[in-house]
Amino acid sequence: SLRLLPLFLAALALSGCGKEGVSALKPEGEVAKEQASLMLISLLIMIVVVLVVGFLFTYAMIKYRKRPGQEDYIPKQVEGNTKLELTWTIIPIILLCILAVPTISKTFALSDNNTSKKSDVLKIKVTGHQFWWEFEYPDQKITTAQDLYIPVGKKVEFDITSKDLIHAFWVPALGGKQDANPGQTNHLWLKADKEGTYKGRCAELCGSSHALMYFNVKAVSDKEFKHWVKDMKAGMKSAPDKDRVLTASAKQGEEVFKNNCMSCHAVGNKGGQIGPNLTNFADRDNIGGFEKHTKSEVKKWIKDPESIKPGAKMPKFGKKLTDDQINALADYLFTLSVKQ
């Protein structure tokens, strides 16, 4: 078994790697901080227990080892020691209480949902799909996907559900983790302390691209958030046929989009609801939640989504559309920006 040691050490070292920002140990918000402090308490208790038990174990091994030339014998057998038994019962009880009190109180504090004043919170409906995330802002009448905008310092309440099977919504740096179950709504709230982009991901095995079900949480200042809402609302009202000035190629791409993509994808409030809403597609950080946001990646995606996200529901368009049409489509998609 010693031969497995290097493997074990390598696994241990690699377990710290991964996508940047996906760590529950670097909390950036109230919920995440509370949860990290609970982890710390239990870690400290465990360290104390391991040290004490390890010390006693080592002491007994050395003290009562078999010495050379010593004959085999059975040591004095002890049965029943009230003092000792009370000690090893009471100490764990105390340790469990130290762990239980903050755990229970924080569990209730963090599950507090739907109790805040309406004006103090932002409501967002989260829907998990194989393999992407839909975000709906019911009060603002905005629907978007993959990039989740939230204002810094504000309590954000999520109503979480799924369109197909069980996913789990998780933003490690902001805390929480909640199952997204079809036909049911679960609740979670989070708050970001600092502006920045935090990686979110699916935390429930949901198929071949479960590990690729990333999303970005963009925590922005209140002012920037209001600006984004205004721009998005304008974008939600616009649709592909709104008279925008487009290059010839993008114009051609718009036609391709109308004829091939709109039964599943909406731009603004026009189009299908099967795939992600693409209103602010050009403003997004990644394609499919993790790929570089470039035209060449978009074209690869349109030609063969399966090669990037196995199990994606979108059909291959590599055979149906010509390279020319796909180029035009990519040009069009990169005009879908709400930034004024």
For residues 196 and 311, which CB has a smaller minimum distance to ligand CUA in the complex? 311
Q: 68-83 as b/e, with b when 16 or more CB fall inside 10 Å?
A: eeeeeeeeeeeeeeee
Report in angstroms how near the CB of residue 283 gets to ligand CUA at its nearest.
24
Residues 6 or more apart whose CB falls under 8 angstroms from that of 71 comprise none
DSSP H helical ranges for the chain: 5-14, 30-63, 82-111, 222-237, 248-260, 295-303, 305-308, 323-333
For residues 157 and 204, which CB has a smaller minimum distance to ligand CUA in the complex? 204
Residues 6 or more apart whose CB falls under 8 angstroms from that of 247 comprise 331
Ramachandran sector of residue 183 (left: φ over 0; alpha: ψ -120 to 50; beta: rest)? left
Chain residues in the site for ligand CUA (CB under 6 A): 128, 131, 167, 202, 204-206, 210, 213
Tell me the DSSP string of 65-112.
PPPTTPPP-PPPP----HHHHHHHHHHHHHHHHHHHHHHHHHHHHHH-
* Residue labelled with tokens 């010839």: 248
For residues 193 and 306, which CB has a smaller minimum distance to ligand CUA in the complex? 306
For residues 30 and 159, which CB has a smaller minimum distance to ligand CUA in the complex? 159
Report in angstroms how near the CB of residue 126 gets to ligand CUA at its nearest.
12
Report in angstroms how near the CB of residue 311 gets to ligand CUA at its nearest.
10
Report in angstroms how near the CB of residue 286 gets to ligand CUA at its nearest.
16
For residues 204 and 254, which CB has a smaller minimum distance to ligand CUA in the complex? 204
Distance CA 89, CA 286 (A): 54
Report in angstroms how near the CB of residue 207 gets to ligand CUA at its nearest.
7
For residues 129 and 191, which CB has a smaller minimum distance to ligand CUA in the complex? 129
Report in angstroms how near the CB of residue 183 gets to ligand CUA at its nearest.
16
